[in-house]
Amino acid sequence: MLRGLLVVVCIAGLVAAIIFGPRYLASEDAWVTASHEANAPVCDLDAGTCRWGEGANTWSLDLERTGPAPTDALQLVLSVPAGAAKGQRMVAILEGQSMYMGQYPVALQQGSPDGNRLRLHAEFQAPLCTVDPDMTWKLTLKRGTEALDMPMVPTFQTRHPDDR
């Protein structure tokens, strides 16, 4: 009787560890970021520029399509106050919002400074999903290895070229 009860308690503890363990093992920053993103408004890059900050500290993010075909490259342009990169590499991280397909880092190259502004740009092609023709992507920015706190979640859409 006691042995059976001990087995049941051990199994229940193991199931609880499997269910709740990953939450306690994940870094606190990941939970804070996920919580912040859930409450942050979405900024659709297909509809126009995403801007945040005020005055000289304004940041802007643009996405331009280099051609009409879905497989044509995309150009990402980030305009930041001079010195905002702090001498570190800036990276945009693409992550599927409508379907998780992994994370894709896109390194931003520094252009020439324009007065008190710095323009960073990258040309890339977002992966296309073969299961769902429409894919929504979200962007996060990193300076070095540090994720930047953004007041919004920039998104854009891709469409599989075989979908008519």
Contact yes or no for 98/153 (Cβ under 8 A): no
Among 2-16, 34-48, 96-110, which range has the highest average pLDDT?
Answer: 96-110
CA distance 95 to 21: 25
pLDDT score of 7: 82
Task: Report if residue 127 sits inside a domain.
Answer: yes
Query: H or E element: which one contains 14?
Result: helix 2-25
**pLDDT tens-place string over residues 38-58:** 678 999 999 999 999 998 899
Task: Report if residue 147 sits inside a domain.
Answer: yes
Task: Report if residue 9 sits inside a domain.
Answer: no
Question: Which of these ranges, 5-14, 27-36, 86-95, has the smallest mean pLDDT?
Answer: 27-36
Average pLDDT score over residue span 1-29:
72
- 133: CB partners within 8 A, 6+ apart: 159, 160, 162, 163
When comparing pLDDT for 3 and 112, which is higher?
3
Average pLDDT score over residue span 108-127:
88
Domain of residue 75, CATH code: 2.60.40.10
Using the Cα atoms of residue 113, residue 144, residue 55 and residue 49 in order, give the sign of their dihedral. Answer: positive
Identity (one letter) of the amino acid at 88?
Q
Average pLDDT score over residue span 88-103:
90
Structural domains in the chain (count): 1
Task: Report if residue 16 sits inside a domain.
Answer: no
Contact yes or no for 90/83 (Cβ under 8 A): no
Task: Report if residue 2 sits inside a domain.
Answer: no
Residue 14 has pLDDT above 60, yes or no: yes
Task: Report if residue 50 sits inside a domain.
Answer: yes
Task: Report if residue 110 sits inside a domain.
Answer: yes
CA distance 112 to 109: 10
When comparing pLDDT for 118 and 69, which is higher?
118
When comparing pLDDT for 58 and 85, which is higher?
58
Residue 145 domain boundaries: 29-159
